[in-house]
Amino acid sequence: MTVLLIALGGGLGAAARFLVDSWVARRSRRAMPIGTIVVNVSACLLLGLLTGWAIGRDAASTAAVVGVGVLGGYSTFSTASVEAARLLLTDRAPAAATHALAMLLLGLLAAVVGMVVGTAL
């Protein structure tokens, strides 16, 4: 049953990713793919919250369904990597480096904040 719920959660997460990324892209006038950064950083924050909250609780199934399923479907490391590569291959190395570093640093910071807050819940 858990595997089925993870699969359903993954589908919901992927749909949410598409909606959030599309919404951000329509409102952004930047050449950099901001939507993917918003999606991945928010996924890091939410996964951090979930992880912090789950520590010391009997919540392995919930953490798997929401973390692996929903947030796994929502976040997209591969798209972020392809976007950075596309920037690099179109002679936009500074934008590629900014994109990759922003994704890494903001994602790490969001995960730490999420875990600290989640642990306190």
How many C-beta neighbours within 10 Å does residue 35 have?
A: 23
pLDDT band of 28, cuts 50, 70, 90: confident
- Predicted TM-score (pTM) of this structure: 0.90
Extract the tokens encoding 113: 């904040």
Q: Which ranges in the chain belong to alpha helices (H)?
A: 2-27, 34-54, 60-63, 72-74, 77-89, 93-120
> pLDDT band at residue 14, thresholds of 50, 70 and 90?
very high
**Model pLDDT for residues 72-118, shown as the tens digit of each residue:** 999 989 999 999 999 999 999 999 999 999 999 999 999 999 999 99
